[in-house]
């Protein structure tokens, strides 16, 4: 998929000249990069507002990084409703805003926000992509009406309406390496899987973003697993799906010892998870797991998924999952082979 806009050509010209200028491998060719932000559904918050202040790429063998400031990225028109009354976004010495807002909860179930469209980068291997996000414990909004001067730049509005800072360690999200092929086009997304990434430590004074729940994904090679859940089938959580979810595990996971979202895949934790949703108009229960890599999985209906939780250290929650029987084996093929990006599996 390609992100298109009326000003994509202008952006391409602007972005081609931005960033660091130390040693460059541009002689070997260029690549177009499309980059977006998305999120997997989470039910513990009303808003998850991140203050995006920049983006950088570190190319192997190149001293300077290629960078984009907030004015070079595609921002939202209304700050996604994250800027509260009585506050403004801080500005730099030129009067330009130092960040813009994204509410991650607006980019779920396949929705996304484009940060770059047709950006031209030198071809080659990149050691790291880093998205700069203000740490809500140390960065604050400017006050215009005498309100609280410590309103966090990045924050979570929880299910009860409380505003808590969002800790972003080092004020950046570090993502893995990738290779930009000559004359290629890369369609990448920064996927904030908040069910696996956002934790409320024991002190409950701020949320923390865990980097292992944020991934750089290539949307062209990923699929979706979705289906319905039959509430009339007593094997499906005795028909009570109010807290149910569907978890995808590696095919090698031990079915007798499946763990919740606090556990990594080496400890029988899920690769991906989602909650079951209910359409009250049609009275249909369904689920959707996005951005699944090709491979073999075990798919489990978890009756108490909405109460599952993370700990700061991980692999420690001890939460006892209630898993409906049977756990299903699901095969996801590369879309280039299967010709489709959707897999249907009903419970």
Is 312 found in the same domain as 176? Answer: no
The answer to whether residue 14 scores a pLDDT higher than 80 is: no
Please check whether residue 345 is in contact with residue 328, taking contact to mean a CB–CB distance below 8 angstroms: yes
The answer to whether residue 296 scores a pLDDT higher than 50 is: yes
User: Residue 74: which of 11, 141, 9, 14 has the closest Cα?
Assistant: 11
- Summarize pLDDT for 317-330 with one digit per residue, the tens: 989 999 999 999 99
Of 199, 220, 241, the one marking the end of a domain is 220
- Helices and strands per DSSP (H, E), number in the chain: 3, 24
Is 92 found in the same domain as 235? Answer: no
> To the nearest 5 percent, what fractions of the chain are helix, strand and coil?
15, 40, 45
- Summarize pLDDT for 96-152 with one digit per residue, the tens: 999 999 999 999 988 999 999 999 999 999 999 999 999 999 999 999 987 788 999
- The reported pTM is 0.86
Q: Tokens 């895949």 identify what position?
A: 265
Is 141 found in the same domain as 54? Answer: yes
- Summarize pLDDT for 166-184 with one digit per residue, the tens: 999 999 999 999 999 999 9
Is 247 found in the same domain as 301? Answer: yes
Distance, in Å, from the CA atom of 301 to the CA atom of 244, rounded to the nearest integer, reads: 7
- Helix residue ranges, H only, the chain: 8-16, 194-197, 335-338
The answer to whether residue 188 scores a pLDDT higher than 90 is: yes
Domain residue limits at 270? 221-346
Token digits of residue 292: 């699944």
Bridge partners of 250, per DSSP, are: 297
Instruction: Give the pLDDT band (50/70/90) at residue 211.
Output: confident
Is 239 found in the same domain as 171? Answer: no
Reported as type and span, the H/E element at residue 35 is strand 30-40
Give me the sign of the Cα torsion angle 164, 170, 173, 175: negative
Of 165, 197, 220, the one marking the end of a domain is 220
> Which of 39-48, 169-178, 257-266 is the least confident region?
39-48
Is 207 found in the same domain as 65? Answer: yes
In percent, the amount of the chain with pLDDT more than 70 equals 92
Is 277 found in the same domain as 215? Answer: no
Distance, in Å, from the CA atom of 186 to the CA atom of 188, rounded to the nearest integer, reads: 6
């Amino acid at each position: 998929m390609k992100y298109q806009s009326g000003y994509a050509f202008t952006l391409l010209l602007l972005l081609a000249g931005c960033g660091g200028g130390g040693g460059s491998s541009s002689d070997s060719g260029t690549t177009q990069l499309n980059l977006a932000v998305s999120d997997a559904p989470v039910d513990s918050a009303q808003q998850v507002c991140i203050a995006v202040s920049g983006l950088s790429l570190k190319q192997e063998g190149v001293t300077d990084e290629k960078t984009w400031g907030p004015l070079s990225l595609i921002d939202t028109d209304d700050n996604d409703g994250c800027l509260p009354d009585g506050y403004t976004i801080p500005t730099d010495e030129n009067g330009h805003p130092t960040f813009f807002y994204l509410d991650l909860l607006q980019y779920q179930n396949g929705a996304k926000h484009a940060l770059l469209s047709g950006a031209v980068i030198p071809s080659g291997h990149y050691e790291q992509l880093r998205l700069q996000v203000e740490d809500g414990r140390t960065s604050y909004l400017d006050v215009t009406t005498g309100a609280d001067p410590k309103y966090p730049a990045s924050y979570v509005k929880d299910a009860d309406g409380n505003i808590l800072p969002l800790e972003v360690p080092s004020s950046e999200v570090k993502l893995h390496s990738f290779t930009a092929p000559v004359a290629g086009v890369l369609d990448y997304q920064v996927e904030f899987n908040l069910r696996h990434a956002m934790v409320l430590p024991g002190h409950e004074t701020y949320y923390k973003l865990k980097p292992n729940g944020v991934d750089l994904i290539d949307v062209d090679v990923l699929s979706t697993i979705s289906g319905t859940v039959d509430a009339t089938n007593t094997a499906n959580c005795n028909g009570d799906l109010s807290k149910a979810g569907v978890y995808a595990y590696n095919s090698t996971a031990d079915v007798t010892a499946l763990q919740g979202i606090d556990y990594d895949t080496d400890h029988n934790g899920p690769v991906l998870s989602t909650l079951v949703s209910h359409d009250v108009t049609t009275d249909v229960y369904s689920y959707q797991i996005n951005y699944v890599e090709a491979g073999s999985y075990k798919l489990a209906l978890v009756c108490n998924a909405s109460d599952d939780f993370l700990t700061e250290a991980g692999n420690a929650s001890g939460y006892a999952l209630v898993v409906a029987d049977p756990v299903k084996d699901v095969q996801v093929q590369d879309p280039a082979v299967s010709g489709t990006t959707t897999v249907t599996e009903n419970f």
